């Protein structure tokens, strides 16, 4: 596609990851059937996609509202939930639509088994993140959560540790944390539980950014995945711009004949990338 000498291409590998796509699909199917659906927490970190689903009848609720959902359909998003949420849903009599990502569910099961073996567990992840809350909830909070080594005190940690990762964290950060612990003499049983799709997406975004003069990265400002992938793009292509909305595209970003690439995070819908490509001056 050419506009005023600009050649615009949408990243063919961009769009929802499997877990988000499945969650959105379940939400759409339920909304078409019932006309209403209550999601516990924000379904995904993209305001445009949330608005689209809200028009169909989606509502976002807090965990505190679960006991009031008698007779309603309730969605558990791809991030996963702790056992207490399932119990509250059951007691309320809500119709549960469980959209927990299979990769997250497998991680929860692995952490539970490690805990049953009496292992000291460290989760490499963002404290307070909903996925992390769901993971540590499997073992009654009996885990250490850290997103960087400086938050840990090696002198109070046992000699043997089991290390897992939130599925959306950078794999190099997980390895760095393991090396840091080993530097202090710890024996680390490392489980690389970063989602393979997240790892692959890093390589794809990096390669795509190298082939373009300008990158328009579309994502939610509150999406850690989008921010992480945006920084990957900017490292290899300084002319990378982060936007949430096609209306933010500015003509001053482009030069005659530029090859413009449009890409996004794993919670950015393809339709929004297409609208962004259409907003490039022409």
What's the mean pLDDT in 46-64?
96
Domain boundary among 144, 161, 194: 194
d(CA 280, CA 148): 39
How confident is the model over 175-221, as pLDDT tens digits?
999 999 999 999 999 999 999 988 899 999 999 999 999 999 999 98
Range of the domain at 88: 18-100
In this structure, the answer to whether residues 65 and 112 fall within a common structural domain is: no
Single pTM value for the model = 0.89
Whole-number pLDDT of residue 2: 44
Q: Residues 176, 177, 181, CA angle at the centre, nearest 5°? A: 115
| CATH code at position 63 | 3.40.50.11270
Domain boundary among 44, 68, 100: 100
Count of domains in the chain? 3
Confidence of residue 113 (pLDDT cuts 50, 70, 90): very high
Domain boundary among 83, 100, 117: 100
Tokens standing for residue 106: 């497998």
In this structure, the answer to whether residues 51 and 113 fall within a common structural domain is: no
In this structure, the answer to whether residues 65 and 111 fall within a common structural domain is: no
Q: What are phi and psi of 153, to 5 degrees?
A: -115, 95
Q: What residues are labeled active site? A: 131
In this structure, the answer to whether residues 29 and 83 fall within a common structural domain is: yes
Does position 282 have pLDDT exceeding 80, yes or no?
A: no
In this structure, the answer to whether residues 171 and 136 fall within a common structural domain is: yes
In this structure, the answer to whether residues 54 and 123 fall within a common structural domain is: no
In this structure, the answer to whether residues 55 and 6 fall within a common structural domain is: no
d(CA 58, CA 200): 31
Whole-number pLDDT of residue 141: 97
Whole-number pLDDT of residue 187: 98
| CATH code at position 185 | 3.40.1010.20
Give every CB contact of residue 70 below 8 A, 6+ residues apart in sequence.
92, 93, 94
Whole-number pLDDT of residue 222: 83
In this structure, the answer to whether residues 73 and 111 fall within a common structural domain is: no
d(CA 92, CA 137): 20
Whole-number pLDDT of residue 246: 96
Give every CB contact of residue 163 below 8 A, 6+ residues apart in sequence.
121, 122, 124, 174, 177, 178, 181, 188, 189, 190, 191
Give every CB contact of residue 91 below 8 A, 6+ residues apart in sequence.
67
In this structure, the answer to whether residues 235 and 273 fall within a common structural domain is: yes
In this structure, the answer to whether residues 116 and 67 fall within a common structural domain is: no
In this structure, the answer to whether residues 120 and 173 fall within a common structural domain is: yes
How confident is the model over 211-261, as pLDDT tens digits?
999 999 999 988 888 999 999 999 999 999 999 999 999 999 999 999 999
How confident is the model over 149-180, as pLDDT tens digits?
999 999 999 999 999 999 999 999 999 999 99
In this structure, the answer to whether residues 153 and 167 fall within a common structural domain is: yes
């Amino acid at each position: 596609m050419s506009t005023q000498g600009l050649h615009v291409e949408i990243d063919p590998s961009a769009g929802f990851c499997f877990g988000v796509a499945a969650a959105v699909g379940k939400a759409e199917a339920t909304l078409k059937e019932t006309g209403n659906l209550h999601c516990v927490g924000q379904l995904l970190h993209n305001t445009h996609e949330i608005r689209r689903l809200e028009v169909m009848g989606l509502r976002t609720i807090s965990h505190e509202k679960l006991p009031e959902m008698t007779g309603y359909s309730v969605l558990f998003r791809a991030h996963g939930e702790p056992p207490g949420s399932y119990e509250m849903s059951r007691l309320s009599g809500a119709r549960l639509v469980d959209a927990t990502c299979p990769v997250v569910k497998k991680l929860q099961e692995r952490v539970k088994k490690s805990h049953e073996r009496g292992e000291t567990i460290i989760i490499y992840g963002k404290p307070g993140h909903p996925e992390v809350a769901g993971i540590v909830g499997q073992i009654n909070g009996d885990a250490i959560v850290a997103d960087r080594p400086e938050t840990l005190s090696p002198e109070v940690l046992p000699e043997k540790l089991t290390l897992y990762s939130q599925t959306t964290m950078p794999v190099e950060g997980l390895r760095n944390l393991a090396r840091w612990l080993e530097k202090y003499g710890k024996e680390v049983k490392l489980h690389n539980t970063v989602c393979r799709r997240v790892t692959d997406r890093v390589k794809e975004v990096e390669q795509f950014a190298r082939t373009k003069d300008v990158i328009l990265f579309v994502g939610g400002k509150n999406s850690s995945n989008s921010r992480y992938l945006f920084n990957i793009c900017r490292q290899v292509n300084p002319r990378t711009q982060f936007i949430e909305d096609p209306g933010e595209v500015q003509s001053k970003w482009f030069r005659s004949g530029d090859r413009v690439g449009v890409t996004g995070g794993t919670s950015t819908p393809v339709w929004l990338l297409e609208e962004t490509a259409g907003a490039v001056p022409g």
